[in-house]
Structure 1
Amino acid sequence: MSEAQKQVLGVLASGRGTDLQSIIDAVERGEIHAMIGVVISDNPDAFALMRAKKAGIPAICVNRKQYEGREPFEEALIKELEAKGVTLVVLAGFMRILTPLFVRHYKGRILNIHPALLPSFPGAHAHRDVLAYGVKVSGCTVHFVDEGTDSGPIIAQAAVPVLDDDTESTLGARVLEQEHKLYPQVIEWYCEGRLHVDGRHVRVDK
C-alpha cells in the first residue's frame, strides 16, 4: 500500500464549506489519493456538514458551546478523529484557534489555508485588513499549523491582484477561486510524501 493510499483526512470546518467541497471534488476526481474519514464542525448549522452528508462522508458536530473550556472541546475532537483513523487534519474555514494540546497531538499533521499572503495579515479579518492597508497584491497561503496563529511553516501560496474598487466580498471571491485550486494540490503533495520541513522552510519534492 502506498503512502497516499494510507492517508485518511479529517476535515474541520465551521461554515459554508466551500474549501471542503473543493477537497471532496478532488478526491472524487482522483486528484487526491486519500479518503475523507470524517468532517467535523463546531457549528451545528454549518453547511459543511450538509456537504459531507451529501457526499456520503461521516459528518459530526462537536459543539464548542457544550464544553467548559477549550481543552475538553479539543479532547472531544481528537476522540472523533482517532475513531475514524485520521492521519491528516485539514482545517477548512475552522474558526477556532487550536491549543497546544491539539497541535502537539497532531504535530506535523495539520494543514490550514489562510486567505492572505502570510506572514502578512494573519487572523480572522484578512480581506478587511488587506483593503485597509492598501496593498496591491493578496492571495492565499497553505501552511502547517503550529502553536501560534497563522504562523506555521508556509508550504505554498497563490497571488491575486487587489483592484481599486474591491470590496471584502469581491476580493474574497477572487481569493477563494485560488484556494480551491491550491489546497487540494497541497493535500495531494502531503499524501504523496513530497513535503519536507526544515525549520521554517518546506521543500516540495518534484
Structure 2
Amino acid sequence: MVKVAVFASGNGGNFQSIVENTKNSNLKNYSVELLLVDKEDAYAKKRAEKLGILCYTVIPKNFSNKKEYEEKIIEILEENEIELIVLAGYMRIISSTLLKAYENKIINIHPAYLPNFPGKDGIGDAFRSGVKETGVTIHYVDEGVDSGKIIYQEKLAIKDGWNLEKLEEEIHKVEHRIYPDILNKLSGKIKK
C-alpha cells in the first residue's frame, strides 16, 4: 500500500473524496497518511479532523524563503514515510526543492481540460470564454503551471443555461469521481 500525503489550500472536497473512497470501496492500493495545508483557516483542516487524518499546517510566510518552506515539508513527509504527494486544491507552485525530492511522485488535479485554461481559475476561465466543453485533468507536477505529463483527462459538456456555480458543481462531481480511482490505479504501479 502506497502512503499518500494530500496537499490542500482551501475547502478540501477532493481530499475528503480521496479519503472516503478508500473506506467505502475496493480502492486499496493507497492510504492517506496526512493532510498538509498552507493556510491557517483552510476548511480542509476540519475535514481532516472529522476523518481522523493527521493534519500539518505549514505556513510559507513563517519561512525566509521557498526552499526552507519546502525543506520543512520534506522533513514532515520523510517522518511519515510518504511515497506519493497528491495535490487537491493546493494553490502554490512547487519548486525544484520538493520536485527533486519527490520526482515523478507528485500529481495534481486541474479543473479544466488541459492544455486549455491552466492556472488558478480553470473553471472560471473556461466559463468566461464561452467554450461548449471543458473537463478535468490529472497530471504529474513539473516546474511549470499545469504543464506536467497528463495521466488522465475527462471532458464535460457545458449545457445551455448553466451559470458559473453550476459548472463548478459539475466539475467537482467529475473530480470527486475520478481522482480516487486514478490515484488507486497509479498507486498500484508504484514500485516500493
TM-score computed with the length of structure 2 as normaliser: 0.94
Contact 2:113-2:134 within 8 A present in 1 as well: yes
Question: How many residues end up aligned between the 2 structures?
Answer: 190
Q: Percent identity?
A: 35
Matched AA of 2:172:
L
Matched AA of 1:93:
G
**In 1: Cα distance, 2:68 partner to 2:164 partner:** 35
Q: Note if 1:57 corresponds to 2:53.
A: yes
Shift of 1:168: 2.4
1:20 maps to: 15
**In 2: Cα distance, 1:135 partner to 1:118 partner:** 13
1:42 maps to: 38
- C-alpha RMSD of the superposition: 1.5
Alignment partner of 1:192: what SS?
helix
The alpha-carbon distance between structure 1 residues 131 and 30, as it changes in their structure 2 partners (threshold 3 A), is closer
2:161 maps to: 165
**In 2: Cα distance, 1:164 partner to 1:74 partner:** 44
Contact 1:12-1:39 within 8 A present in 2 as well: yes
Matched AA of 1:54:
K
Shift of 1:72: 1.2
Deviations 1:90-115 (A, max 9, x none): 00100111111111211110110000
1:79 maps to: 75
Alignment partner of 1:120: what SS?
coil
**In 2: Cα distance, 1:165 partner to 1:96 partner:** 33
Contact 1:31-1:188 within 8 A present in 2 as well: no
Unmatched tracts of structure 2, length 5 or more? none
Point out 4+ residue stretches in structure 1 off by more than 2 angstroms: 163-168
Contact 1:90-1:110 within 8 A present in 2 as well: yes
Q: Note if 1:29 corresponds to 2:52.
A: no
**In 2: Cα distance, 1:164 partner to 1:75 partner:** 47
Alignment partner of 1:174: what SS?
helix
1:104 maps to: 100
Alignment partner of 2:189: what SS?
coil
**In 2: Cα distance, 1:39 partner to 1:146 partner:** 21
Shift of 1:194: 7.7
Contact 2:93-2:143 within 8 A present in 1 as well: no
**In 1: Cα distance, 2:27 partner to 2:84 partner:** 13
Q: Which has the higher contact order (CA 8 A, sep 6+)?
A: 2
